Amino acid sequence: MEISTDYEKSIALLYQASTPSGFVAAVREQDNYKRVWTRDGVITSIAALLSGDKKLIETSKATIETLFDHQHHLGFMPSNVTPESGEASYGGTCGRADNPSWAVIGLCAYTLLSNNLSLWEKYQTEVEKCFAVMESWEFNGKNLIYVPQSGDWADEYIQHGYILFDQLLRVWALKLVNKIDPSKQQADKAIQIVNSIKQNYWKNAENQQAYAPNLKHQMINASSHYWLMGFNPSRIYKYFDLQANTFSLLLNLGDESQNQKVIDAIKTLYNTKLSMLPSFYPTIEEGDADMNELKNNYAYSFRNKPNFFHNGGLWPVWNGWLVMALKKHGENELAEKISANINNANAMDDCFNECFHGLLKTPCGVNNCTWSAAGAVLAQQDFKSFEQIFNFND
C-alpha cells in the first residue's frame, strides 16, 4: 500500500521502530540508538497512544514494562535497554536526572489514555522509588533537583544545576499521579516545587525568595520575557530554552502576563527563523566563552558546532510539543505553520532526521529517528486529545 500523507509516513516509522520490548529510538543501529530509551520511548508512546492505533498502543505498553522492569534498585531509571539482551545502561559519565519523571509520565499517560489500570497497579512500588530518588537529588530539601552536566536530554550541551525543564517534568509527573490516585502528599509537593519555580525562574517575580543569595545578583542579567533556563552556584543560563518554555505553557505555570510574554518571545523567534524553533537560542559561536564547555562534552564525535545538534539545532520532537502548547493557548495559526515545518523537515530525503541545521535547515544527526516521527504525530493532534494528561484541578 502506498503511504501518501505525512501523518501516515510518521505512523509507518513508529511501526518500523516497534519491537517486542517497545519502541527503539531509531530503526538502524548507530551510536546505540537502536535501543529502548526512557525519554524517547515515553514520548513515542504518548504519540502512539494519541494515534489510537491498537498495535502501537501495545508497543507503548511494552515500552513502559521494559523501562520499569529494568529500574535500578535505588530508584533511578535506565538510560536505555537493549531489546535483544535486556541489558540496561543507566548513563555514561553520569546518569539521567529526567528519566524517573519521564517513566512516571509514561505510566500515567498509558493509564489515562488507554483507560487501563493494569500497569498502574503493577508498578506502584517503582513509582514510589522514582519519587524517592528525585527527593534525594534535591540534596538540600529545598524542592529543586540538581541536574549534573549531561544529566538530561541535552546531554552534550553546557547546562548543569537547577535546570527548569527537569523541575517541570517532575511537577508533571506528580500531578499525573495525583490525578489517578489523589494524595495530599503528592499534591503538596507539586505546589512546593511550583512555588519555588515561580520565585526563582522569572526575573522580578513578586515576593521573590531567592533559592540562594548568589541568585539575587545573577538574575540582574536574566531576560524578563521568558522563563530562566536554569542556574547553579556560579551562574545563570540566559539562553531561551524551548523545552522549558513550551512545558511552562502546557502546565499553565505562569500567569496571563507571563504566558503572553513567552508566546511573544516564541513569535519573535519564529519570525527570525521562519522554521522550526531551535531548542536553545542564541547559538553558541566560536570564540564565545561557553564554546569551551561544549568542545569536550561528547561521546562519539563533536556535534555541537554552531547551529548543529543541541547548539541551535532544530528538533522536530520538541517542536511537536510546542505546536500543542500553542494550540492550548489559542495560537492556532502559528501552530499550523510550525506543524508544516515539522512535516517538511521529516520529509527531506524521507529521513526523519533527529535534528536539522539551525540556518541551512539541512539534516544533521541520526536519520529514521523515531521521536521525530512522534513529534509530527503529536503536532497533528487536537489539544482536546491531550486534556487527560495536561488539565489538572489546581
* All domains in the chain, ordered by first residue: 6-388 (1.50.10.10)
β-bridge mates for residue 56, sequence order: none
- Predicted confidence band of residue 2 (pLDDT cuts 50, 70, 90): very low
Which residues, in sequence order, are CB contacts of 372 under 8 Å at separation 6+?
315, 316, 317, 345, 346, 352, 353, 354
pLDDT of residue 349: 81
Contact yes or no for 154/97 (Cβ under 8 A): no
Instruction: Examine the pLDDT at 173 and tell me if it is beyond 50.
Output: yes
Instruction: Examine the pLDDT at 13 and tell me if it is beyond 50.
Output: yes
pLDDT digits (tens, 9 = 90+) for 228-259: 999 999 999 999 999 999 999 999 999 999 99
Instruction: Examine the pLDDT at 8 and tell me if it is beyond 90.
Output: yes
Mean pLDDT over residues 250-276, rounded?
97
pLDDT of residue 89: 95
pLDDT of residue 116: 97
β-bridge mates for residue 231, sequence order: 162, 236
CA distance 175 to 191: 9
Mean pLDDT over residues 363-376, rounded?
95
Instruction: Examine the pLDDT at 365 and tell me if it is beyond 90.
Output: no
pLDDT of residue 94: 87
pLDDT of residue 205: 67
Q: Tell me the average pLDDT of the chain.
A: 94
Which residues, in sequence order, are CB contacts of 102 under 8 Å at separation 6+?
38, 39, 42, 43, 77, 169
SS3 content of the chain, % helix, strand, coil (to 5): 50, 10, 40
Helix (H, G, I), strand (E, B) or coil at 216: helix
Helix (H, G, I), strand (E, B) or coil at 314: strand
pLDDT of residue 4: 54
| Burial bucket for residue 115 (CB in 10 Å: 0-12, 13-18, 19+) | exposed
Lowest mean pLDDT among 72-81, 112-121, 201-210: 201-210
Q: b/e string for 138-161 if b means 16 or more Cβ within 10 A?
A: eeeeebbbbbbbbbbbbbbbbbbb
Which residues, in sequence order, are CB contacts of 170 under 8 Å at separation 6+?
101, 134, 145, 193
Which residue do the cell numbers 543541541 mark?
310
β-bridge mates for residue 52, sequence order: none
C-alpha cell read off for 359: 540556518
β-bridge mates for residue 314, sequence order: 278, 356
Instruction: Examine the pLDDT at 358 and tell me if it is beyond 80.
Output: yes
Neighbours of 394 (CB within 10 A): 10
Q: Are strands 36-37 and 162-163 parallel, antiparallel or unpaired?
A: unpaired
Mean pLDDT over residues 206-227, rounded?
85
Mean pLDDT over residues 293-309, rounded?
91
Task: Find how far residue 295's CA is from the centre of its chain.
Answer: 24
pLDDT digits (tens, 9 = 90+) for 59-105: 999 999 999 999 999 999 999 999 989 999 998 888 899 999 999 99
